[in-house]
Structure 1
């Protein structure tokens, strides 16, 4: 994406493995180390649990393939913001950016930074009052590294992706060591327990949330080399890697703890490690989760800053935020603004509520973002596309339908949070009018 205010653009330095690492790091955070226990509570045995994780992975893969075509068509920084702006106009794009770049991205960074700090303090024996200072320090460090460009951020991200994959591999080895040759038992179906369709949907929701975060590579598409080829391959490779990891981890939980033990566990990864290594096992896993969550924060800050910078370059936010630093080709102002706002949320303790309030807005953004694919197909029907999603229009329809189902289920389960999410989006309308007026006054 060209920065109109400074005549500098991003440099395309990310290859396929960098892109796949961004996808893996953006999806795998802390969820897989805790969410399987919730899914086990809502299923009858190991087979339906694994089926849900496979179904969730296939549904997410449908969305990823759609994002692959969108990214190949518009390989620019900003992701969904760009697609919405071109297909539906500046107001929907602004409302997405308003909700995500200013609230959801920094809110998720704040929440996951606290999770990182919590596990880091446990692993190092620091007292609880160190959690917030460590979280703030982590955000400052991540922002500082990313100020020197996407290549520096990619090196850091690749390292922490390898570390989180090592933690997952360790879980698998421990689970198999505890299985004692009884792998088949984990797939036995409990015929005495009947699970309703509503319970299945309730179990699928946390699975889908744990698969979230695959869109960050599209936010950084302006820095991907040969994007028409690299983006589809990196997105697909990264998401397939995530699905494999998630299935293997759940197998490890089932063979190591059993379905009933998994359902009763509050920290299944730590419990699994403790069976072999005792209290030291929980410490080892705390280090693994800390690495995983730190890597997620790095990606969320880098991706969110690109959306914020694109909005600034469009005149939809402060012009200075749209600046791309000429030497390192990094959105330095946007990085600092996003990081500083995340720190404010940490210190105020309000990030949890903000995330609850913006969940519906985030999923609406995904639904409308994928829906732009239909516009692109009609608008540019006579032009060759570098990549086309297979089974069109089935896959985008399946993904949009799934996302809308998630929104409905979320609204039913938490109507207050859904209402606040819609209210936050609505508040963006007068803000948009103000920025448009400022833009017209500046140009006219």
Structure 2
């Protein structure tokens, strides 16, 4: 029997979760990276548009699946209900053991680095600041999901202020030409110029679009609010990404932008608002990372919670524990905190062996395999529920789900081409989970 979490997440909080779990540092640091792959301002802007369309198609497709399976655990619950507990377990296994902790560890370390750089502190002090932020946010979400939601609302609004400031004032005050700026002759490594790689770079910035679905069981009127929040949230993110790039091109000439690396938005703000502008953007990035970390802490624990509720994790009893007063999944929040903290420490102790950023990147390959299974699952669900009224239907069916599937295949093929060894590692992580599944199922049968 599924344990119930309190339905405290309203429509507007759901939107801020979508926006907040996607927008981290990518909106501020990726313009130059994408331009280096695109070779021209036109193709760079198109890469952001295409990335947004692929992400929106994926989000709208998953929203129909989520409306038909409005359960806590998101992708884990969808794969489990469509394909069975074996495939559901493998989905949740990757998210719980590696993907979630790696992303949380990366954000924790990055937040600490940004704070230490901003205040000229020792790097070791920054690590402890990051761990303190992680601990604070976990405790906040233990005290109440509504508090975590309030934090998400505040940080999302705060992080959008510098984004919109650069867009508005960049478009008004910028003097550099935006379109038809070819910089291919300035790029030293010509093999980097590839529109597919440019789109792939934007898709890393759009990553996190599915996180809201983990909280479906805690949403008010999920069948209506999940699809609407996906549509509004992903549309806002896409427009923000496209227009901040247009604004940056208008402020900084493309031939200058191509060599700026990860400082493009800060440099644009510096041109617009002086030295105070770059500090303004740096504060925006810090808030953005903090809010993104809060969003991940809100959403990732729902996967081990749902798995433990199905008795598909060791220590399922403690992990599925819900605080009777706050109605928060305390056990799942604690286990995600422990795994994230462990990875932070391992990254510091043996950096040559454990790299949280790389672990999260290689897992994207296998996560997209499960995404594609969920996209295909929509067709299976429609077949199973033929003649039944739906609270939400994906627009332009079957075109939108097919676009989502093609986008997923694009990421998988691109990853195989660019990092075959990393893709192999992620497959090994999945295979390691198989004996655990059969051990846990056997334990269930013997109880």
TM-score scaled to structure 2, two decimals?
0.93
User: Taking structure 1 as reference, are residues 125 and 284 closer, same or farther at Cα in structure 2, changes over 3 Å only?
Assistant: farther
**Cα distance per residue 1:132-183 (max 9 Å; x no partner):** 1111111101100000222111000100001110121222245336513x5x
Q: Which one of 119, 127, 134 corresponds to residue 132 of structure 1?
A: 127
Give distance in 1, aligned partners of 2:155 and 2:205.
18
**Cα distance per residue 1:245-285 (max 9 Å; x no partner):** 11121012101112222211121122222334554433322
Give distance in 2, aligned partners of 1:277 and 1:59.
34
Q: How does 1:94-173 map to 2 (within 5 A)?
A: 94-173=89-168
Q: Which one of 303, 312, 315 corresponds to residue 311 of structure 2?
A: 315
Query: Which residue of 2 is the match for residue 302 of structure 1?
Result: 298
Give distance in 1, aligned partners of 2:45 and 2:358.
31
Give distance in 2, aligned partners of 1:346 and 1:20.
29
Query: Which residue of 2 is the match for residue 228 of structure 1?
Result: 223
**1:196, CA displacement in angstroms?**
9.3
**1:434, CA displacement in angstroms?**
1.2
Pair 1:259-2:254 in alignment: yes
**1:52, CA displacement in angstroms?**
1.4
Q: Which one of 334, 337, 342 corresponds to residue 335 of structure 2?
A: 337
Structure 2 unmatched runs, 5+: 348-353
**Cα distance per residue 1:283-337 (max 9 Å; x no partner):** 3222110110111111111111011100000000122211222211111111011
> Would the aligned equivalents of 1:174 and 1:256 in 2 still touch at CA under 8 Å?
no
Query: After TM superposition, what 4+ stretches of structure 1 lie above 6 angstroms from structure 2?
Result: 191-198
Pair 1:290-2:282 in alignment: no
Q: Which one of 48, 66, 72 corresponds to residue 71 of structure 1?
A: 66
Q: Which one of 333, 345, 361 corresponds to residue 366 of structure 2?
A: 361
Query: Which residue of 1 is the match for residue 350 of structure 2?
Result: none
Q: Which one of 38, 43, 48 corresponds to residue 48 of structure 1?
A: 43
Query: Which residue of 2 is the match for residue 439 of structure 1?
Result: 444
Give distance in 2, aligned partners of 1:205 and 1:62.
16
Query: SS in structure 1 opposite 2:178?
Result: helix
User: Taking structure 1 as reference, are residues 329 and 191 closer, same or farther at Cα in structure 2, changes over 3 Å only?
Assistant: closer
What value does the CA root-mean-square deviation take over the aligned residues? Answer: 2.0
Give distance in 2, aligned partners of 1:18 and 1:345.
29
Query: SS in structure 2 opposite 1:339?
Result: helix
**1:352, CA displacement in angstroms?**
2.8
Query: Which residue of 2 is the match for residue 85 of structure 1?
Result: 80
Structure 1 unmatched runs, 5+: 4-8
Pair 1:246-2:251 in alignment: no
Give distance in 2, aligned partners of 1:162 and 1:18.
11
Give distance in 1, aligned partners of 2:219 and 2:108.
26
Q: Which one of 411, 418, 421 corresponds to residue 416 of structure 1?
A: 421
Q: Which one of 216, 219, 232 corresponds to residue 214 of structure 2?
A: 219
Give distance in 1, aligned partners of 2:125 and 2:399.
50
Give distance in 2, aligned partners of 1:197 and 1:386.
45
Give distance in 2, aligned partners of 1:219 and 1:258.
42
Query: Which residue of 2 is the match for residue 6 of structure 1?
Result: none
Give distance in 2, aligned partners of 1:342 and 1:103.
9
Question: What is the total number of aligned residue pairs between the two structures?
Answer: 434
- Structure 1 stretch 357-366 or stretch 409-418: which is displaced more? 357-366
Query: Which residue of 2 is the match for residue 15 of structure 1?
Result: 10
Query: Which residue of 2 is the match for residue 388 of structure 1?
Result: 393
Query: Which residue of 1 is the match for residue 406 of structure 2?
Result: 401
> Would the aligned equivalents of 2:41 and 2:182 in 1 still touch at CA under 8 Å?
no
